[in-house]
Amino acid sequence: MSPRAAYFLLTPDYFGRPFDDGIIRALLAARFEVDLYMPPPLPEQTLYPPQVTCRQVDYRLSWLRENLRPLRWRRYDLLLGCSDLPMAVVGLLGRLARRPTVTACDEIYSGGYEGQARLHWKTLVKSGMHRADLTVITDLVRTALQREYARLPASHPFVEYPCCFADDFDAPDRTEVRRELGIGEDDFVVSMAGRFSPETGALQGLELLDRVTDASLLVQTAGRPDALTDALLRREARRGRLVYAPERLGYRESLRITSAADVSLVVYLSPKPQFQAMGVSSNKLCLSLWMGIPVIATRQPSFELVERYRCGVLIDGDDELPAALETIRANRAVYSENARAAVREHIRPAQKLEELASTFASLAG
């Protein structure tokens, strides 16, 4: 009989996200059947084989009271949860069912960045993390932050899995994607994906339009932003040098749009410690390199691979951005191949998936 795992996600928007995809595929490689618990609306499960089933959870005390039944959870051999609210539930259910638990540390809620959990829930979250048998973390550079946040003992084990898909990128017809987006064949396009805010490079991106007159922005906000930002981006799009895609798409569908870009802008300006220790925790960084798109990133020690592999340019200030863009434009083919080499040799998602599968099998055993 196959072992069974319950994996709790914070939101259905995480379904198909690279980090969670790696955990699910590692569980499948270790021969688990997997139940994915998430709040509604549940997505249509077509990404994975039939051994993966989506089930509903509500992160409320009423749901906990109704579901604290030991026999229900003892059918699982392993319980896993993303950071924040899911680990409150996993911690309680793991203790109740006497099953090993795993923190899927996709984010570290420290430095005043507290996530969705509040009051008594935050205590349950940290307790669940503290009692976990293992933490899967997106980059080992962040282990000290998580140890402090969850008060983990020195002996607590960590395994790294980056925010990158483990398979090869199935590149679409870039010319066709550009035509669909209204991007000219010779346009030089800068991708900005995710939250569009001053802390993630919004001001730098808009200033770039003024300072580099032959470049365009491709902005994907993964869902409609606040009304003011939405209006600003729509106005800039009407002026013709910004392509605005606010729709929330699946991760792979979004990457099809990103493939139209020549370079990605990866900006983390928040002083909170986890945002200055991103490394391969950054979806924007990892997925751009995975697609062979070089990056321009704000300098931090955990991004040293960008300079080591020459797969992009690190900048110390806004005034360096135009020159960085021109450096990549002049050597894009080389930077693009170096990006793929950085994934193969440094990020190594396929090898890390195998290591994670072996670890999961040992826990269940």
Report the pLDDT averaged over residues 321-326. Answer: 95
Q: What band does 238 get if pLDDT is binned at 50, 70 and 90?
A: very high
Q: Which residue has the tokens 């697609």?
A: 291
Which backbone phi and psi does 300 adopt, to 5 degrees?
Answer: -155, 155
Q: How many residues does the chain have?
A: 365
Q: Are the beta carbons of 327 and 143 closer than 8 angstroms? A: no
What value does the mean pLDDT take over residues 333-340?
98
> Would the pTM of this model clear 0.85, i.e. be above it?
yes
User: What's the helix, strand, coil split of the chain in %, to 5?
Assistant: 45, 15, 35
Distance of CA 253 to the CA centre of its chain: 15
Is 365's pLDDT higher than 80?
A: no
Using an 8 Å Cβ cutoff, are 246 and 221 in contact?
yes
Phi, psi (deg, nearest 5) at residue 7: -120, 120
Q: Look up residue 11 and give its two tokens.
A: 């939101």
pLDDT over threshold 80, residue 43: yes
CB proximity list for 155: less than 8 A, separation 6 or greater: none
- Integer Cα distance of 110 and 114 in angstroms: 6
Say if residue 242's pLDDT is above 90.
yes
- pLDDT digits over 153-189, tens only? 999 999 999 999 999 999 899 999 999 999 988 899 9
Q: What average pLDDT is seen over the chain?
A: 94
Record the tokens describing residue 332, joined without a space: 């894009």
- pLDDT for the residue numbered 114: 74
Q: Which residues pair with 104 in a beta bridge?
A: 82, 136
CB 283 within 8 A of CB 163: yes
pLDDT score, position 16: 93
- H or E, element range at 290: helix 283-290
Q: How many helices (H) and strands (E) does the chain have?
A: 15, 13
Alpha-carbon Rg for the chain in angstroms: 21
Q: Could you tell me which of 312, 323, 315 has the C-alpha nearest to residue 215?
A: 323
Q: Does 357 score more than 90 pLDDT?
A: yes
